[in-house]
């Protein structure tokens, strides 16, 4: 894995049955994963709202770091913590790939964003 500057992103749905400590528990698990895999945490953000839209303050904060090229890896607990819609996931994977940032989750490891970037680009542009 080249480049280890990592952004941690946590999300729970508002009113989660997991309680008020859920974000902190998620963050600790992500920090542990990062340490175990030689990743250096350089920033983090969180949201306490549904994952049905990517227009969330924590995602926007993470995007600023991606666009400023201060991160190499976005780390989430699982992909559904990032977003719930497949179209949003594809667009976001394309966005990260375009900025040279890798996506990794505790539950799935590193997500291969290179899976035919042409197809991802076509899907994200709405051509198909």
Beta-carbon contacts of 41 under 8 Å, excluding residues fewer than 6 positions away, are 6, 7, 8, 31, 34
Q: Look at phi and psi of residue 27 and say left if phi exceeds 0, alpha if psi is from -120 to 50, else beta.
A: alpha
CA–CA gap between residue 19 and residue 120 (Å, rounded): 36
The answer to whether the CB of 110 falls within 8 A of the CB of 102 is: yes
pLDDT of residue 123: 43
Burial (Cβ within 10 Å: 0-12, 13-18, ≥19) of residue 83: buried
Share the mean pLDDT of the chain: 84
Percent of the chain at pLDDT > 70 equals 80
The pLDDT tens digits of the residues spanning 58-94 come to 999 999 999 999 999 999 998 889 988 888 888 898 8
Asked whether residue 126 carries a pLDDT value surpassing 60, the answer given is no
Which residue range is the domain that position 60 belongs to? Answer: 5-124
The CATH number covering residue 104 comes to 3.40.50.1390
Total count of domains within the chain: 1
pLDDT higher than 90, residue 109: no
pLDDT level of residue 99 (50, 70, 90 thresholds): very high
Rounded Cα distance, 120 and 125, in Å: 9
The 10 Å CB-count burial string (b at 16+, else e) for 27-41 is beebbebbeebebeb
């Amino acid at each position: 894995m080249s480049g280890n500057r990592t952004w941690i992103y946590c999300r729970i749905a508002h009113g989660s049955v997991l309680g008020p400590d859920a974000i902190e528990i998620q963050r600790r698990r992500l920090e542990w994963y990062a340490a175990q895999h030689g990743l250096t945490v350089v920033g983090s953000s969180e949201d306490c709202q549904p994952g049905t839209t990517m227009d969330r303050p924590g995602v926007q904060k993470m995007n600023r770091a991606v666009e400023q090229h201060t991160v190499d890896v976005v780390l989430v607990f699982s992909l559904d913590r990032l977003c719930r819609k497949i179209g949003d996931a594809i667009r976001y994977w394309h966005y990260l790939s375009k900025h040279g940032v890798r996506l990794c989750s505790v539950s799935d490891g590193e997500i291969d964003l290179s899976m035919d970037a042409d197809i991802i680009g076509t899907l994200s542009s709405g051509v198909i």
